[in-house]
Every structure is written in structure tokens, then in C-alpha cells.
Amino acid sequence: MTVVLTPGAATLDELHHIWASGAPAVLAPSAHPQIEAAAALVAKAAADDVAIYGVNTGFGKLASVKIAAEDTAKLQRNLILSHCCGVGDPLDLATTRLMMVLKLLSLGRGASGIALETAALIERMLECDVVPVIPSQGSVGASGDLAPLAHMAATMIGEGEAHFAGERMSSRQALGKAGLAPIILGPKEGLALINGTQFSTACALVGLWGAWQNAAACVVTAALSTDAIMGSTAPLQDAIHTLRGHAGQIAVARAQRALMTGSEIRESHRDGDTRVQDPYCIRCQPQVTGAAMDLLHAAGRTLEVEANAVTDNPLVLVEQGLIVSGGNFHAEPVGFAADQIAVAISEIGAIAQRRVALMVDPTLSFDLPPFLTPDPGLNSGLMIAEVTTAALMSENKHLANPCTTDSTPTSANQEDHVSMAAHAARRLVRMNANLNVILGVEAICAAQGIAFRAPLQTSDPLRRVINVLRREVPEISDDCYMAPLIEAAAAMVAGGALTGAVDLPDFVKGHAE
């Protein structure tokens, strides 16, 4: 079903639905008058002799070059073609569609000066499944995501390549097969299409949603691990966390406590437990993952604002009758949000990996067999699965280094400070995939550890999680070819199968605060 978007008021839930389902999107009709008013103001300016950046001048360092009225259409076409400098693997189709939706939202605010027909073409492309091929590298995240968005605009003018119904072909062929025609860009339209943060924002949103899935899964796997090592639930008492006051910490402790309620394993050592304190990876789970969730909520607020923002240049201020240059294309807010998400992903993985290491280490795992195998020595068990998690944890630590501090001047020093938001956002998919594996291995280890506690049983919610895991990953008694089991567990984390087996609060799932 087509999603009707109100510019300035789109929600993360709406955008997630479009991304996950592939639903088409259109602007609410209430946006049309403002779009047309801005286009009229640009048309009037284009007929005037006064130099206005992007309407009748060159671009960037060439802004002082005045363009003749008869060349303004060619100016916009040249802009698109010359900026199609993207390289690298193509962006996946779902994220590309999200980028198009974000551009549609920005144009729908009526401050970009594009014709209503231009916005309508994006709507029709979404409806007819015409998706531009967008190379993933080439943006520094200032003056907008110029190269990626130029490739999107190129499809709209019949240049470059696109997918139609999943098949890659020339843009002109894709449009034709869909019953659509390329457009001729009017004054400022090319600039309006390529200025903006929509590539970086789309990639950051996808990274955010993946991070939320991992953060929720981490609460589940941590509860499993706590029972596997016969850890204490005393540190989960609500009073401890409300005294500190951080929303994420409070929510994680409550969720984990609910998951473990009724565990026979826990009850078996509640009295007479000689351990005063568990290691931090068990005892401080709410403090670490909760803090990561607070970061994700903050990043989500930033990205929701950005998704509704006008980020091209110059801006058409209809009420004032002005076309003015500014700097909304600078993607620093997106870069900061993506850096926050990266740190959260890294830290969730860091503490989860320590729980894996705890469970396989016979000196620390509280009577569990070495490497969680019933016949250690002949079998290596989960020894190297833990090593894999260590490798991916370390890789994520490197990837979590901030990108926004890495500015470099471009465009003959006209763009002398850039955000690197595209770099910051693109790495998140890789980081989330690494974390999927870490948490998948933790689930395997914890389920294996809980099995060794028989006849004692874990709680009902955690038994449901283990039952779901066992559909793809059997209990491991003898050494076997491990890679497919790890892959299957990681896919269950990524797809939400483990978290879907239990009830988690909205805050933990990232839907609401």
C-alpha cells in the first residue's frame, strides 16, 4: 500500500516500513501548492539578469561565472553528468529507495524550486520499481552527497543505469519499460536534486535500525549467558538503576529481569551462593547496553529531524520572495549521529564478546566444561567460535573510530570543511553484520551452557528463545563443521527471530522512549 508522506512530519516508523516492505510513497497533496510557488519564484529569477547561484551561475568555485538564459537547461544537465563520479559497489536497492524517499520529502517542503512534475517522477519511479544504480563511494558529506545523488538524478534524465523489476539496465530502458519518460531539468532543478544529505541519512537510518535489532538481541543473549554461568540477578534490581536514572539502563535491567523470572537455574543458587560479584560483562550489562540504547535514541532523534529537513542550496524562501544561499547541505549532524551509532554497536559487541569468552573458559565459567563440549580434548567445542567473535569485536573497534573528525578540503578549497557523513554511515552495515555474528555465537554458547545445567531449566521466555535457536542450530555434542551454524545464528539475530520469541518493551526495541 502506498504511504502518503507529509513533508516535515514523517516518522522513523513510517520510513522503516517503506524501507523494510518496499512500499511506494507519495507526497501529501497539501504539499503541492508550496512546491509550485517555489518553482514560480525560481522561474521568475531565471528570467531576470540578476546572478543567482545555481539558477544562472556556475557551481562551487565557478559561482562567479554568469550563465546565459538560453543555456540554463544545459547548465543543469551538465551539472548532473559531471557529478556522476561515484565508484565502488552499488548501494543495495532498499537503501536506494529510502534515499529517493528522503529526497522526495526534502523537495516536498517547497523550498527547493523544483517543478511538481519532477517530484512526481520520483513518486512514479518508486511506484514502478525503477531504482537507480548508485555507486556507494564518492561523497564527503558536504555540499551534499553530490556524486550519489547525481547518479539518482541521471536516471531521471535518462542517463546512467537503473534497475527495473530487479533487472539492471540503462536508465532510459528502465524508464521506458515502466512507461515513464526522462525529464528535461529546469532552472536550479539539477542542483536541488544533488544537493542534500539523503544518501548519508538513508545509510545512517539503515545502520540505526540494524543497531536496534542487535541491541534488543543483546538483552536476550545476555540473559541466556547469565543463566548459563549461574550468574546473579541481584544486580538487576530496579532500585539500583532508578538511583542512577538513565532510561536505557533502567529499561535493560527490567527487561533482563523479566526474561529470567522463573528460572530454576537461578533459584538453585540464590541461597548459599559463595560468589560475591559476577564479572562486569554479566553484572554491568544494563549499564553498558543501556547506555548504548540511549545513544541510539539520541541518534534516532537527529536522523528523524534530518529526514524531514531541506538540505539543498540555495533555498527558495517563498514567503520572503527570496532565493538565498546557505549551508544546510553540510551533513555534520548525520555524521555525528552515525559516529554515535558506531560507538554503540562497538560497545554492545565488546561486552557480548566478553560473555562468550567467560563461558568457554573453564577457569571462569563456574563448572561448565572447557569450551562447552562434553568431551574436551577429543573435541575443541566452541574454542574457535570464540576467536571469531574476538576478531569481529576488534574489527568493530577499529571501524568505530570517528569519521567526522576527518575533514579534508575539496573543490579548490571552496568546500574547506566536510563532514565525512557518508563514510560514517556506510560502515554501519558492516559493523552490524559483525555484531550479528558475535551475538549469534553468544546465543549458541549460552544455549549450550544452559543444557549442561539440566535437569534444572531456565525460564519460560528463555526456553522459547532456545527452542527457536534449535530450529537451525542443534545442540553440539561432537565437533562439526561450524561455519553454517554460526551463519544461521547470525541470521536469526539479524532477522529478529530470537527477539521475536519474547516480549520486550518498546524502549528496548527502539520504537519509543
* CB-based contact 139:84 (threshold 8 Å): no
Query: According to the CATH classification, is domain 204-318+328-406+418-509 in 1.20.200.10?
Result: yes
pLDDT of residue 276: 63
> Please, what's the b/e burial string for 119-134 (b: 16 or more CB within 10 A of its CB; e: otherwise)?
bbbbbbbbebbbbbbb
C-alpha to C-alpha distance for 260 and 220, rounded to whole angstroms: 10
Query: Which of 495, 508, 465, 468 lies closest to 224 in space, CA to CA?
Result: 465
Rounded Cα distance, 352 and 391, in Å:
13
**Which residues 6+ apart lie within 8 Å of 56 measured at CB?**
45, 46, 66, 67, 68, 69, 72, 75, 187
| CB atoms closer than 10 angstroms to residue 269 | 15
Digit-coded pLDDT (tens) for 99-112: 999 999 999 999 99
- Other beta carbons within 10 angstroms of residue 32's beta carbon come to 15
Q: Which tens digits make up the pLDDT trace of 291-313?
A: 999 999 999 999 999 999 999 99
Cell numbers placing 245: 536514572
In this prediction the pTM is 0.96
Q: Cell numbers 527457536 correspond to what residue?
A: 468
Q: Compare 165 and 170 and report the one with higher pLDDT.
A: 170
For residue 410, pLDDT over 80 is answered with yes
Mean pLDDT on 13-40: 97
Beta strand residue intervals within 44-133, DSSP E: 87-90, 130-132
Q: Could you tell me the end-to-end alpha-carbon distance of the chain, in angstroms, rounded to an integer? A: 28
Backbone phi, psi, residue 248, to 5°: -65, -45
Residues 6+ apart with CB under 8 A from 89: 135, 136
Average pLDDT on 163-173 reads 96
Write down how long the chain is: 513
Residue 291: all three cell numbers together: 547506555
Residue 386 is predicted with a pLDDT of 97
CB 133 within 8 A of CB 58: no
CA separation for the pair 197, 200 (Å, rounded): 6
- Can you tell me the distance from the alpha carbon of 206 to that of 101, in angstroms, rounded to the nearest whole number? 13
* Cβ neighbours of 457 (radius 10 Å): 15
The beta-strand segments (E) located in 91-206 are 130-132, 135-137, 161-164, 167-170
Share of the chain above pLDDT 70, in %: 98
- Which of 279-297 are b and which e, b meaning 16 or more Cβ less than 10 Å from the residue's Cβ? eebbbbbbbbbbbbbbbbb
- Tell me, what's the pLDDT at 512? 54
pLDDT bin (cut points 50, 70, 90) of residue 49 is confident
Question: Residue 272 has what pLDDT?
Answer: 61
Higher model confidence: residue 498 or residue 407?
A: 498
274, pLDDT greater than 60: no
Cell of 74: 544545459
Cell of 110: 517547497
The torsion of the CA quartet 314, 317, 323, 328, rounded to 10 degrees, works out to: -20
For residue 415, the cross-strand partners are 410
Instruction: Give the closest residue to 442 by CA, choosing from 504, 479, 489, 495.
Output: 489
Active site amino acids: 53
**Mean pLDDT of the region 232-255:** 97
Q: Give dist(CA 447, CA 250) in Å, integer.
A: 26
178-218 pLDDT, tens digit per residue, is 999 999 999 999 999 999 999 999 999 999 999 999 999 99
CB 133 within 8 A of CB 160: yes
Give pLDDT, residue 144.
87
- Distance, in Å, from the CA atom of 462 to the CA atom of 441, rounded to the nearest integer, reads 16
CA angle 164, 86, 432 (to 5 degrees): 80
Bridge partners (DSSP) of residue 168 are 163
Position 273 scores a pLDDT of: 61
What stretch(es) of the chain map to CATH 1.20.200.10?
204-318+328-406+418-509
Examine residue 132 and say whether the peptide bond preceding it is cis (omega within 30 degrees of 0).
no
**pLDDT tens digits for range 50-67:** 777 777 777 766 767 777
CATH of domain 3-196: 1.10.275.10
Residue range(s) in the chain whose domain bears CATH number 1.10.275.10 = 3-196
Looking only at the bridges linking them, the beta strands covering 3-5 and 87-90 are unpaired
For residue 461, CA distances in Å to 90, 146, 262, 458, 475 come to 41, 48, 9, 8, 19
Residue 177: other Cβ atoms inside 10 A: 16
**Helices within 452-480 (DSSP H only):** 460-470
